[in-house]
Amino acid sequence: MLKINNLHARIGEKEILKGINLEVKAGEVHAIMGPNGSGKSTLASVLAGREDYEVSAGSVEFLGKDLLELSPENRAREGLFLAFQYPVEIPGVTTINFLKTAVNEIRKYRGEAAMDAVSFLKMMREKSQLVEIDQALLSRSLNEGFSGGEKKRNEVFQMAMLEPKLAILDETDSGLDIDALRIVASGVNKLKSPQNATIVVTHYQRLLDYIVPDFVHVLWNGRIVKSGTKELALELEEKGYDWIKAEAIS
Amino acid sequence: MSKETEILEEITGSEYKYGFTTDIETETLAAGLSEETVKFISAKKNEPAWMLEWRLAAFALWKTMTPPQWQNLSIPEINFQDIIYYAAPKQKKVVNSLDDIDPELRRTFEKLGISLTEQKLLSGVAVDAVIDSVSIATTFKSKLAELGVIFCSMSEAIENHPELIRKYLGSVVPVKDNYYSALNSAVFSDGSFCFIPKGVRCPMELSTYFRINTANTGQFERTLIVCEDDAYVSYLEGCTAPTRDENQLHAAVVELVAMENAHIKYSTVQNWYPGNKEGKGGIYNFVTKRGICMGDKSRISWTQVETGSAITWKYPSVILKGNGSVGEFYSVAVTNNFQQADTGTKMIHIGKDTRSRIVSKGISAGKSQNSYRGLVQVMKRADNARNFSQCDSLLLGNLCGAHTFPYLEVENPSAQVEHEATTSKIGEDQIFYCNQRGISTEDAVALIVNGYAKEVLNQLPMEFAVEAQKLLAISLEGSVG
Ligand SMILES: Nc1ncnc2c1ncn2[C@@H]1O[C@H](COP(=O)(O)OP(=O)(O)O)[C@@H](O)[C@H]1O
Ligand SMILES: [Mg+2]
């Protein structure tokens, strides 16, 4: 589904991604871990098409297409979803209205007719139950005045509504209490299918108790310096990142 | 050049949709302004002597006046002798029924989305259609007459309801109020008159659609709305003009009178030709709009969505004379390319317990300049007056300007006045967030701008709110930031 090959990205003169290699297949869950500032959000942003970053080398293939050639909106329409580490507020635009626009834009791209209001509301109701988000929240301005946890839950709700092929969750767990974490994780699990894939970016192993990854990668200093299975996450929890840094340097 | 600027320049460049001209035989007076012009217009309309005298007095006064200079606008000098003061489509005969309207004119209004066939009209909206200097049709007249509601062109009103016109014309905006109101009083050619008798809630929206067609003509219309005790009316005004390289002048006067417990809701969707991307052409929209809350507990609400015109100079105001009366001003003003707007309101609190609310949302893009100018005045006797003002500016790009000029004059210590102002930019973060959900940059801007203007758009009657939303998106096409 996703093939990242020797990806380098910079902002201004500063190189942040220094040769990322990663392959994600349909049905898989990958976790990307690593200390603060190692480039996790940058990787997510570059995949989503943020213009601030310049891709200086490498290639990314997504569902057989050259991802880097696509505009950010077309990446989304092709099925790539990013749950933002810091979701943005849009005053005066309700989540409902925002998602109706998004859903219909994506459908248009795929040559499907716009969704009528009744089916849309029905889908809203189902998906909001799935991620246990309060309906009242969805009639409010997008993310405006939401608590940290509400914002994150709204990200997962949007993911449920847009049914992406590849979802990247950037620290969706941070700022959540344990109950919220459980709800969000169970939402993500319910959305899992053999046809789609998930990349979970996280700091903490505790999320991986709920969303069990097939692979765990450690990103440090712009490179994936170690990959393994879920046991690697436990090891990191126990020993921290220093041994990996030491390993990477030597 | 940053991506932001690039997108911005691309989107700020959409074409004006209503720029076509109607090819119809027009009776046009030669350009120029003199007493003869005033007499000609008055004669053309078979006006009574008192009306002509009123006009001539206005003209004499105007000649002694000079254009206002205080606004934050750069207005090229206007040669008033170059303007045509009367242009009217030649109709074969007197139009007695809507079926007699020239098909070409009917088509013109249909192209503008205004049907002059009653069956096809939006149910619940009566329209007065004004082209250049004259009203060509008013729909649903007889149905409204059953309720005692008068809705007709100003020309007809002068002829058929002289007692009302003599009583109210110039009573809210005196001839001498300002340079443009004096000019309008001398040469106004048509407009709409609405009268809602005591206790009647007008069952449909009344609306006037103004269209400038002939080159070099000025449009000087006059609107007067009177609501007697306990009456209610919702009135809507729309306007467009052809695309032309020359600037054209539109100097209207609108007066509203609300008696005891009456409510007038006046909405404008102003979409005059704004000029091209280089700032050539466009309408000069110099308008005086004012309402008086004459009776106790009366209410006047102005809502305006201003997207057109090369230059806008306009301050719909409310004189809160009746005790407990309420004045409201909701405005969205968009400027793009080289447009300039200096717009706002005046809330004059005279009565006790009067309240006013001002919500102004400016949106500037391109190289435009957008100013809010508002006065809140609380007179000595106005105990417990309250005002709330919210003035927001949204900037798209770095080349435009937003300015706020709030004035406050309080002579009564019990007044409570609150003013809030914000300036924001559409963030790249917001746009990227939308993009990531499959929404194109252009649609993202439309979404964000509509969200920003929502409080004002919500004040518009339903059908027009949808139109206004589209209009906002179109006026900003090519201006993302
Ligand atoms: N817009 C930016 N401008 C400058 N430096 C940035 C920018 N975004 C990220 N960086 C730098 O890139 C590095 C990686 O950041 P980030 O991808 O956010 O890390 P992580 O998500 O792993 O914590 C950090 O050193 C950060 O300071
Ligand atoms: Mg991060």
pLDDT in tens, B423-480: 888 888 999 999 999 999 989 988 998 899 888 988 887 767 777 777 777 777 766 6
Tokens representing A78?
């092709």
Check whether B4 has a pLDDT greater than 60. Answer: no
Residue B317, pLDDT > 80, answer yes
Question: Is the distance from CB of B237 to CB of B205 less than 8 angstroms?
Answer: no
Gap between the Cα atoms of A81 and A169, Å rounded: 8
Contact B448 A93 (CB under 8 A): yes
Q: Which 3-state string (H, E, C) describes A32-95? A: EECCCCCCHHHHHHHHHCCCCCEEEEEEEEECCEEHHHCCHHHHHHHCEEEECCCCCCEEEEEH
pLDDT, greater one: A55 or B269: A55
Distance A85 CA to ligand 1 centre (A): 12
Mean of pLDDT values over A122-139: 90
3-state secondary structure of A151: helix
pLDDT confidence band for B31 (50 / 70 / 90): confident
User: By the CB < 8 Å criterion, does B439 face chain A?
Assistant: yes
Specify the DSSP class assigned to residue B194. E
Nearest CA in chain B to A47: B436
Using a CB-CB cut-off of 8 Å, the residues of chain A touching B435 are 49, 71-73, 76
Interchain proximity B436–A92, CB inside 8 Å: no
pLDDT at A228 over 60: yes
Indicate yes or no: CB of B447 within 8 angstroms of CB of A141: no
Give residue A136's Cα distance to chain centre: 25
- Is A73 within 8 Å of B432 when comparing Cβ atoms? no
- Nearest-ligand number for the alpha carbon of A34: 1
Q: Which residue CA neighbors atom 9 of ligand 1 most closely?
A: A42
Amino acid (1-letter code) at residue A119 = S
Asked if the C-beta of B146 comes within 8 angstroms of chain A's C-beta atoms, the answer is no
Verify whether the Cβ–Cβ distance A158 to B433 is below 8 Å. no
Report CA-CA distances (Å) from A125 to A131, A157, B128: 10, 11, 45
pLDDT at B101 > cutoff 90? no
SS3 category, B435: helix
Kindly report the nearest CA distance between residue A28 and chain B, in angstroms: 22
B325 touches A at CB < 8 Å: no
pLDDT score recorded for residue B244:
67
A163 C-alpha to center of ligand 2: Å? 23
Number of Cα atoms under 13 Å in the Cβ half of residue B378 = 22
Determine, for residues A84 and B433 on separate chains, whether the beta-carbon distance falls below 8 Å: yes
Query: Residue B303's closest CA among B139, B453, B195?
Result: B453
Please, which pLDDT band fits residue A108 given cuts at 50, 70 and 90? very high
First to last CA, chain A: 33
DSSP-assigned letter for residue A26: T
Model pLDDT, residue B273: 79
Given pLDDT bands bounded at 50, 70 and 90, which one contains residue B243? low
A17-26, A55-64, B73-82, B134-143, range with the lowest pLDDT: B134-143
A199 Cα to the center of ligand 1, angstroms: 19
Q: How many residues does chain A have?
A: 250
Is the pLDDT confidence value at B140 over 70?
yes
Residues on chain B touching A106 (C-beta within 8 angstroms): 438
Beta carbons of A87 and B433 less than 8 Å apart: yes
- Please name the residue that has the structure tokens 């929206």: B205
**pLDDT confidence tier of residue B9, bands split at 50, 70 and 90:** very low
**Strand B205-211 relative to strand B386-395, pairing:** unpaired
Res A181: pLDDT:
87
Cα separation of B112 and B271, whole Å? 11
Residue A1 near residue A184, CB atoms below 8 Å: no
- Of residues B41 and A245, the one with the higher pLDDT is B41
Ligand 1 binding pocket mutation candidate from A16, A32, A168 (most atoms within 8 A of CB): A16
Nearest CA in chain B to A78: B438
B186 within 8 A of B220, measured Cβ to Cβ: no
Query: Ligand 1 pocket test: which of A17, A20, A41 has the largest number of ligand atoms within 8 Å of its C-beta?
Result: A41
Please give the residue that has the higher pLDDT: either B296 or B423: B296
B251 is written with which tokens? 């100097």
- The C-alpha atoms of residue B435 and residue B89 are separated, in whole angstroms, by 49
pLDDT at B113: 65
CA-nearest of B441, B330, B439, B454 to B396 is B441
* Local confidence band at B77 (pLDDT 50, 70, 90 cut-offs): confident
Q: What is the A80 CA–ligand 2 centroid distance (Å)?
A: 18
- Token duo for residue A224: 């994936």
Please tell me the number of the ligand nearest to residue A40's CA.
1
Which atom of ligand 1 sits closest to the CA of residue A44? Answer: 17
pLDDT of A24 higher than 90: yes
Q: Locate B238 and state its tokens.
A: 């729309």
Paired sense of beta strands A14-24 and A2-11, if any: antiparallel
DSSP string across B195-255: EE-TT-B-SSEEEEEEE--STTB-B-BEEEEEE-TT-EEEEEEEEE----SSEEEE--EEE
- What was the pLDDT predicted at A8? 97
The answer to whether residues A154 and A133 touch, using CB atoms and an 8 Å cutoff, is yes
Q: How far is A103 from chain B (nearest CA, A)?
A: 8
CA of A235 to the centre of ligand 1 (A): 25
> pLDDT-derived band of residue B2, with 50, 70 and 90 as boundaries?
very low
Which DSSP string corresponds to B17-43? TT-------EEEPPS--SHHHHHHHHH
Report which of residues B300 and B279 the model is more confident about. Answer: B300
Tell me the two tokens of residue A137.
């929240």
Longest Cα–Cα distance of chain B, Å, equals 68
pLDDT class for B13, splitting at 50, 70, 90?
Answer: very low
- Ligand 1 interacting residues, C-beta cut-off 6 A: A 11, 14, 16, 34, 36-42, 52
Q: Is the pLDDT of residue B1 over 50?
A: no
Distance from CA of B472 to the nearest CA of A (A): 15
In this structure, which residues have their CB less than 5 angstroms from ion ligand 2?
Answer: A 40-41, 85
Give the confidence band of B307 by pLDDT, cuts at 50, 70, 90. confident
Report helix, strand or coil for B99: helix
Distance from CA of A45 to the nearest CA of B (A): 10
B10 interfaces chain A, CB cutoff of 8 Å: no
- Closest residue in A to B455 (Cα) is A92
Instruction: Judge whether A203 and A33 are in contact, CB under 8 Å.
Output: yes
pLDDT of the residue at B172: 97
pLDDT at B19: 67
Min Cα distance A104 → chain B (Å) is 9
CA atoms of A9 and A89, how far apart (whole Å): 27
Band the pLDDT of B278: cuts 50, 70, 90. confident
Helix (H, G, I), strand (E, B) or coil at B300: strand
| Cβ contact A76–B437 (<8 Å) | yes
The least confident of A56-70, A107-121, B447-461 is B447-461
Cβ atoms < 10 Å from Cβ of A194: 8
pLDDT tens digit string along A7-20?
Answer: 999 998 999 999 99
In chain B, what are the domain boundaries?
2-475
